[in-house]
Amino acid sequence: MRGEKELQKLLSALSPVLKEGAYVFCTQQGPPHALKAQARMVFEEYEGTTLILERSLAHGLLHEGVFACIRLDVHSSLEAVGLTATVSTALAYQDISANVVAGYYHDYIFVPYEKKEAALGCLKQLYM
């Protein structure tokens, strides 16, 4: 099944879901890290490897902030135009930062943990 590309259809089916847990974006340099298998995301950057981990797993790793994860429960196409911009703009108007990660089926929005309920409410307004 192909993901949806049309922005209005995506927004009407957005269905944001707050996932349990607190997450951190970590960086690690050097040889592969044993926590890669437990990471929600791994991305190799020039300066080091970025890992999104549950906060409880990140002891000793450099990280900044604690985030909640909101899954957009609509199957979006990786070629869809405007979804990320619409979501991040709506959150920006509420002074909520958004770190967006696109998976094959869904988009995931990492927001400051203390603003998770406000972010969820903001995103629910986009599709109601």
Q: What is the mean pLDDT of each run of 10 residues along the chain (128 residues)?
A: 86 93 86 76 85 88 92 91 94 97 92 98 86
pLDDT score for 42: 87
Domain boundaries 1-21+67-128, CATH class: alpha beta
Locate 76 and state its tokens: 């979006």
Question: Residue 63: what pLDDT?
Answer: 87
Q: Give the pLDDT score at 110.
A: 97
Residue 4: the pLDDT is 85
pLDDT score of 107: 93
Q: What is the pTM of this model?
A: 0.90
Structural element, H or E, at residue 42:
strand 41-44
The residues spanned by each domain of the chain are: 1-21+67-128, 23-65
